[in-house]
Structure 1
Amino acid sequence: MITGGRIHTAEGVIAGDFLDVLPLPDGTTVLLQGDVAGHGTDAGLLAVQIKSAVVAVLRLDPDPRAAAAAAWAVVAPEDERFTTLVIAVLDPRGRRLAWLNAGHEIVLLRRADGTVDELGTTGPVVGPFITDPDGMWDVHDCSLAPGDLVVLATDGLTDARDRTGVMLGRDAVITTVAGAGADPRAVVGALYRAIEDHGADWDRDDVSILAATVKQDDSRATAPRSRPAS
């Protein structure tokens, strides 16, 4: 597994976005990303709490639904904040990708031939308006072949606006992913350059991007080899 990831903070040193790459003992690798509403210190502190809860649960049980329920438990009922969340489980040996998408903006699967599939939502954003998390989110799955690339990004990417207020948009993101090749680090770099070329205001919102690809030898691996993205 090869991964690449980056977070740009809109305010200060702490972001309301969070991401992680979690290799598990069964040989699967979990990609995790979320976006707490707003940015700055308050959103950043809640993001840290949610990420910690989700990672702790995934280490015990790789069921994305249990992890989403843990995220929900962190959100205070009286708080108006919510978070989007995506949990993608890559199984190179079984050649499957399973994902839970709780209202997350960009969840893409770039096939080795350059075509790009959008992996849609499987439930609502995680927030205090949910009274019972049981059965709230589904987990979908699809095939995963060597050379396929998973790309996750928060809405700070698609909503990046130039000086006239025009957003970068989903189509530009998908086109960039399709043309950037299969190297996760190159794809992350290309998407950040797309924001720069668009003339966006970097202080408007946090932007986080995470990408991972399955190598040919990953399907024969007996232990995960990936490391958390920086």
Structure 2
Amino acid sequence: MAATPGEATDEPLYRILLIEDDKGDALLVDELLQDTGLRFELSTCTTLAEARPDLDAGAIDCVLLDLHLPDVSGIDAVTAVRTRAPHTAVIVLTGLSEAQAGAEAMAAGAQDYLVKGKVEAELLHRTVRYAVYRSQTERASAQAQAARLRAEENARLERGLLPQPILDTSTVRVTTRYLPSAAMALLGGDFLDVVEGDDGLLHAVVGDVSGHGPDAAALGVCLRIAWRSLILGGHRGQDLLHLMERILLAERGSQPLFATCTLLTLDQHTATATLLLAGHHEPLLTTAEGTHEVAATHGIALGIAPGLRTWPSTVMPLPATAALTLYTDGLTEGHNGTTGQRLGVEGLLALIEQLPQTDPAAHVDRLIKETHALNAGRHSDDLAVLRLDWSQTPARSARN
């Protein structure tokens, strides 16, 4: 029976497109469908050209396709339909004298075939149901395969942007988190890293490449790897930032990309930290008294004014027990879904004060969750967070 509006039933509704130029055959198919007991909506076209809007819309479950149309015939008809609607079941209608046509059509991608004049309602019922089921199974399998490939590619990119910290003797606890802005995105342009150098100093970086997409992500990976290599090669301070800027200029090509970053060098023996800000905001310092933004001198972002090399350093004493959090502006650029106001650093600090003092990793996760909720579940920018925790003195603290 045809679909009845408002009818309550567990039987699925099959949206069927009949492409048949013979009016008599089209009427026969319609009558057979009425006798199958299927719930269906039938649309009829006489040419492939007429059927293209329905195929392109993707709202068809099954195509009943005559192999001899005015504008296309044979295997070419099957190929044309499958090209426009690759996840739609196709059942070919053949003539009595076309013994091989059905098998060839299935080899070309059709789910099944029926011979005109030898089709009964029960056979049509079974053929439509099985064809749609097979098509849906193939689609689910293809989506699963695509998801696996995307996950593998994502893992490879994550190894570039989110490397394992190199910590030999340091006992500072390191917590890192990364969240790309776009749904189903692989990764964005934010990057972070932590390395203990041969000099015994702990070095950290958090950075943000302007823009989104593969160009920003590729440049972020490049800068992260360059930073690690340069740190291990003994480069420090303004010299390090100058070399990173040269690499950025070479790698960005004609793209108007720039990058901001915070460099941190933590001396575990003197209990001091040295900061260099290249267009980036200050980190947050958390102690038993609360959390506040560190006062530090700002420098220019990489790639904005090449050759200027204005990156002053700030040296700060480290409390006996505390934590430093470096982050990108994806943590503060969200807007409250109720008030519409931007969170900002002040809003972020107020939110931190409301959160319970828990394990550092749990605290970072909760903070990201709360900022996400305030932004009504949207992420307008990528997000990277790097937190360093120590107790008593950095040299005697515990690392995860």
What's the TM-score once normalised by structure 2's chain length? 0.51
* Whole-Å separation in 2 of the counterparts to 1:57 and 1:196: 35
The 1:187/1:90 distance shift into structure 2, 3 A limit, reads farther
Residue-by-residue CA offset, 1:102-157 (whole Å, 9 max, x unaligned): 11135112234324233434301111x323154x1111111012321111111111
Residue in structure 1 matched with residue 289 of structure 2 by the alignment = 113
Look up the match of 1:149: 323
Higher relative contact order (CA 8 A, sep 6+): 1
Q: Distance in 2 between the 1:95 and 1:218 partners? A: 7
When the two chains are superposed, the root-mean-square deviation of aligned CA atoms in Å is 2.4
Structure 2 residue aligned with 1:7: 178
Aligned residue runs from structure 1 range 128-143, under 5 A: 129-134=304-309, 136-143=310-317
Q: Which amino acid aligns with 2:181?
A: A
On the 8 A contact 1:93/1:220 being kept in 2, the answer is no
Letter of the 1:196 counterpart? H
Instruction: Pick from 368, 376, 380 the counterpart of residue 192 of structure 1.
Output: 368
User: CA–CA distance in 2 between the matches of 1:18 and 1:192?
Assistant: 17
Taking the aligned partners of 2:369 and 2:379, their CA distance within structure 1 comes to 16
Q: Paired residue for 2:381, among 180, 205, 212?
A: 205
Q: Does 1:166 align with 2:337?
A: no
Q: 1:139 and 1:218 mapped to 2: Cα distance? A: 21
Counterparts of 1:19-34 in structure 2 under 5 Å? 19-34=192-207
- Percent identity among equivalent residues? 27
Q: What letter matches 1:141 in structure 2? A: V
What's the secondary structure of 1:14's corresponding residue?
coil
Q: CA deviation at 1:216?
A: 2.4
Say whether the 8 Å CA contact 2:264–2:276 is kept in structure 1. Answer: yes
Listed as ranges, the gaps of 5+ residues in structure 2 are 1-171
Alignment of structure 1 residues 33-72 onto 2, 5 Å = 33-61=206-234, 63-72=236-245
Structure 1: any 5+ residue segments left out of the alignment? none
The TM-score with structure 1 as length reference comes to 0.85
Contact 1:176 1:190 survives alignment (8 Å):
no
Alpha-carbon distance change, 167 to 74 in structure 1, aligned in 2, over 3 angstroms: same
Q: Which residue of 2 aligns with 1:122?
A: 298
Structure of greater Rg = 2
Q: Describe the SS at the equivalent of 2:290.
A: coil
The aligned counterpart of 2:270 is 94
Give the 4+ runs in structure 1 shifted more than 6 A.
none
Q: 1:94 and 1:147 mapped to 2: Cα distance? A: 14
1:82 maps to 258
